[in-house]
Chains A and B, each alone.
Chain A
Amino acid sequence: MSDVDIPVPRASVFAGLRLTKTAIVAGAVLLLWVFLAILGPTLAPHGEAEIISTKTFAPIGEGGWLGTDKLGRDVFSRLLYGVRTTLLLALITTVIAFAAGVTLGFAAAILRGWFDIIISRIVEAFMAFPSTLLALVVIGALGTSITVLVLTVGLVLSTGVFRVSRALGMDIGVMDFVEAARARGEGAWWILSREVLPNAMAPLIAEFGLRFTFSILFLSGLSFLGLGVQEPDADWGLMVQENIGGLFLGSSAALIPAACIASLTICMNLLVDWFQQRQQGETVLEKIDQ
């Protein structure tokens, strides 16, 4: 035993992340929104649907911090309530999509045979159809409610997740270490959880980020069409739709939530971009190019 105390160089957690400036800014914006989503309603000066002024479409600084909307409600308060709805719905739909997509995708890649063929054909049929249209048809048949909305968007997102995780599973499934596990006689579940999943983790995390962004865009699009979240609940997409008429009265009540959505999706994309580059040296744009 040597009694020389060799100092182990302990890099901080942050240095290990190899953060870039863009990633720090994007991450900070996202953290701010998450923080506001958790605490927003307690910080909001007024209620979600509380009418604070008789003056509708009041400009910034008048009435509330960010003015009032078409009914004289405080835009700032609705924004704080809305971030929770927007983020939570996007998170739930993405989690549903991943639970279904990854399970079925990996199952198809490992089990193969008729199971793979049937599931792949069904997914192809769904993907041969524009996703917005699919959502509109289902919402038209079932009516608008949060449950229908979440399940529909989850279903639409899951087809893409299925395709990615099936391809990942196929790629990893032919690797030597998987062959070796199969030759040892390991079961499908062991192979999935111990060999395939750890190797598929990084691409799946990046995929989660992209799907999450897509879910925000999709849900806010539906709310904008009046088919998503319904009044008096606050949602950013809905707020744009409600206040678009105020644009000509000099009100920015429609522009503010739209810009907030854009900040959310752009930052999320930048963060995924950073993660991709760190993991594989592949940017989001290169992913789109393929």
Chain B
Amino acid sequence: MEDKVLGEGPPDWQHGDFTHSRAITKTTPFGQIKLFAPRHVSDESPKTLAGRNKVPRLIANRLLQGLLTLFLASIIIFGATEILPGDVAEAILGQSRTEESLAALRAEMGLNRPAIVRYSEWLGGMVQGDLGTSLATKRPVADMIESRMWNTLRLALLAAAFSIPLALGLGLWAAMRAGGPLDKSLAMGTLALIAVPEFFIGLILMKIFAVELGWLSSTANTRPYYSFWQNVQALTLPVLTLGFAVLAHMMRMTRASVINIFSSAYMEMAALKGLPKWWLVLRHALPNALSPILTVIALNLSYMVSGVIIVETIFGVPGLTRLLIDGVTLRDIPLIQACAMIFGAVYILLNLTADILSIMANPRLRYPK
């Protein structure tokens, strides 16, 4: 059995992911096993550790990973829609297809060419902003998306503006009263919110506020000539539903990260000095909780991608996801590909933002010993 310090291992373990830097591989007759060495064992020489700011390199590394993921996502989307049985030609001809008509259409559309050629053409078009032409409407997909984009974006931004402060506030509150009746009832509430489907929340809100009380509108149509109040009536229910769908996770994660910090030694020290509780929270706990909380926010905004699909359907929002669902129903493959790529890119970008924020907010990386 020989032990080997991982300093000689693959370069990305040396520099990229700092959590692996203390790993040691152990070669056994059954393959290599990764172990973690005691804290003081470092695989890097003291020289490289001293005064080197690792942040730019970590961020560059993460950006590269993000690009790679996006590339993989494009392969999955293209692969799923193009290589699986049932191609665009079959989708166009539908039930009325014959072998001859299929072959003719495939030749006409260039579907006989190898998949790799078609993939690179498609990807090249995507990068240059050419999203293809819809099969159902024969219009450029980019135009169709442009007219819908604002509706979805507005819904997501308003839901974020409503749910983030609420989640942070409630999470902080629950953390300060951890174990108390308030914390417990909030825990039951979040458990229920996480367990039920999004459309259940939407239906209940609609039943109460639109049907029984009649205060709010159940369709999210806004018109340019609507008064401000009419717009509020139209948008409140979808925004609330989407907000509630992401609220629970965000609150729980905020609570967990604040409690984690409350249990650290320096917080105990500050409390023993007799500092007031609000000062403890604002001055000592929050700055250190910021990094995990920012990560939580970015992650939860990416959860919205699936929540938005349901909310737009319930309230009839003419947004991007309705376009995608219509595309799926009509098997309009260029439209599906473009919409899926946009949502995939947004999701990956938000995850990337979460990671970069947590790298930047971590002072241990900015000022290495």
> Which residues of chain A have a CB within 8 Å of any CB of chain B?
111-113, 125-126, 128-134, 136-143, 173-174, 182, 213, 217, 220-221, 224-227, 237, 240, 244, 247-248, 250, 254-255, 258-259, 261-262, 265-266, 268-270, 273, 284-285, 288-290
Contacts and interface: CB of A to CB of B under 8 A. Distances in A.
B31 A111 contact: yes
A254 B218 CA distance: 15
By Cβ-Cβ distance, the 7 closest A-B pairs, closest first, are A132-B306, A140-B328, A289-B256, A125-B72, A262-B196, A140-B336, A141-B81
Contact of B33 (A138, A141, A174, A248): A174
Between A130, A134, A173, the greatest number of chain B beta carbons within 10 A of the residue's beta carbon is seen for: A130
Interface string B332-369: 01001100100110011001000000000000000000
13 contacts: A126-B76, A128-B69, A129-B73, A130-B306, A133-B340, A136-B324, A136-B340, A138-B84, A142-B84, A174-B33, A226-B329, A240-B199, A247-B211
B77 A269 contact: no
B195 A213 contact: yes
Q: Determine chain B's interface SS by DSSP, over half rule.
A: helix
A240 B203 contact: yes
B267 interface: no
A250 B298 CA distance: 40
Contacts of A111: 31
A210 B200 CA distance: 19
B45 to A, nearest CB: 28
Given A129-B76, A132-B306, A247-B211, A227 B328 contact: yes
Given A141-B84, A285-B187, A265 B196 contact: yes
Contacts of A254: 203
Nearest to B255: A289
B200 A262 contact: yes
Interface in B21-70: 28-33, 35, 69
Contacts of B32: 112-113
B210 to A, nearest CB: 8
A182 B325 contact: no
Contacts of B197: 217, 220-221, 224, 237, 258, 261-262, 265
Contacts of A259: 200
A182 B29 contact: yes
A136 B325 contact: yes
A139 B199 contact: no
A248 B218 contact: yes
A155 B274 CA distance: 55
A269 B191 contact: yes
A130 B28 contact: no
Nearest to B328: A140
Interface residues of B, number: 63
A247 B211 CA distance: 7
A137 B340 contact: yes
Contact of B203 (A141, A217, A244, A268): A244
B324 to A, nearest CB: 6
A129 B347 contact: yes
A221 B196 CA distance: 11
A174 B30 CA distance: 12
A269 B192 CA distance: 9
Nearest to A188: B30
A33 B313 CA distance: 28
Interface in B81-96: 81-82, 84-86
A285 B333 contact: no
B286 interface: no
Contacts of B340: 133, 136-137
A140 B81 contact: yes
B14 to A, nearest CB: 18
A142 B91 CA distance: 9
Contacts of B194: 269, 288
Contact of B200 (A112, A140, A261): A261
Contact of A221 (B35, B249, B310): B310
B81 to A, nearest CB: 4
A265 B194 CA distance: 9
Given A142-B86, A254-B203, A227 B198 contact: no
A260 to B, nearest CB: 10
B291 interface: no
Between A113, A141, A247, A255, the greatest number of chain B beta carbons within 10 A of the residue's beta carbon is seen for: A141
A255 B211 CA distance: 13
